[in-house]
C-alpha cells in the first residue's frame, strides 16, 4: 500500500516553456502532498506543502508564481514550472502523507532538464 506515482519520470524542455509534473497517490487519499527539489548529491529541499482544495504553502525563497502547485483532488497534485530556465533543471520529488500517520511516501521523482 501507500504507493505514490509521478509523471513524467523524465522531461526535457526548452527555455521559456512550461512543464507540468503530476503526483498521484494510487491506493490512498492524500490530504497533504509535498513537493521537493533535490540537487545532485544534496539533501531534499522542501518547496511547498499542498493541501487538497486550498492554496499551497510555499517555503521561503520559493517563487509561487514560477512553481504553480494545484491539489485539485485527494489523489492528485500537480507542479507546473513556468517559463523554465536552465537553472530550474533538477530532480523534483513529491510525497504524500497518509492521514493519521506521521511518515510520508515518496514518488519516484521527475528529472527535469531545461535546454
Partner 1 sequence: GDSVTQMEGPVTLSEEAFLTINCTYTATGYPSLFWYVQYPGEGLQLLLKATKADDKGSNKGFEATYRKETTSFHLEKGSVQVSDSAVYFCALSGGGNNRKLIWGLGTSLAVNP
Identity of the residue, 51 or 82, whose beta carbon is nearer to partner 1 in the bound complex: 51
Q: Assess 13 for contact with partner 1 (CB under 8 A).
A: no
In the complex, least distance from residue 27 CB atom to partner 1, rounded to whole angstroms: 15
Output 87 or 102, the one with its CB closest to partner 1: 102
How far apart CA 106 and CA 61 sit, in angstroms, is 23
Residue 19: strand pairing partners? 81
Q: Interface with partner 1 includes 35 (CB under 8 A)?
A: no
- Rounded Cα gap, residues 6 and 100, in angstroms: 23
Closest distance to partner 1 from the beta carbon of 14 (Å)? 25
* Contact footprint for partner 1 (CB under 8 A): 6, 32, 34, 41-44, 46, 49, 51, 57, 93, 95, 97, 102-109
Amino acid at each position: 500500500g501507500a504507493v505514490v506515482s509521478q509523471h513524467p519520470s523524465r522531461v526535457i524542455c526548452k527555455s521559456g516553456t512550461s512543464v507540468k509534473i503530476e503526483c498521484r497517490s494510487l491506493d490512498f487519499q492524500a490530504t497533504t502532498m509535498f513537493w521537493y527539489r533535490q540537487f545532485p548529491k544534496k539533501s531534499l529541499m522542501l518547496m511547498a506543502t499542498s493541501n487538497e482544495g486550498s492554496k499551497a504553502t510555499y517555503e521561503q525563497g520559493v517563487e509561487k508564481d514560477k512553481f504553480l502547485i494545484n491539489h485539485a483532488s485527494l489523489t492528485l497534485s500537480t507542479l507546473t514550472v513556468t517559463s523554465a530556465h536552465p537553472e530550474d533543471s533538477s530532480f523534483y520529488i513529491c510525497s504524500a502523507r497518509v492521514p493519521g500517520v506521521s511518515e510520508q511516501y515518496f514518488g519516484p521523482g521527475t528529472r527535469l532538464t531545461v535546454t
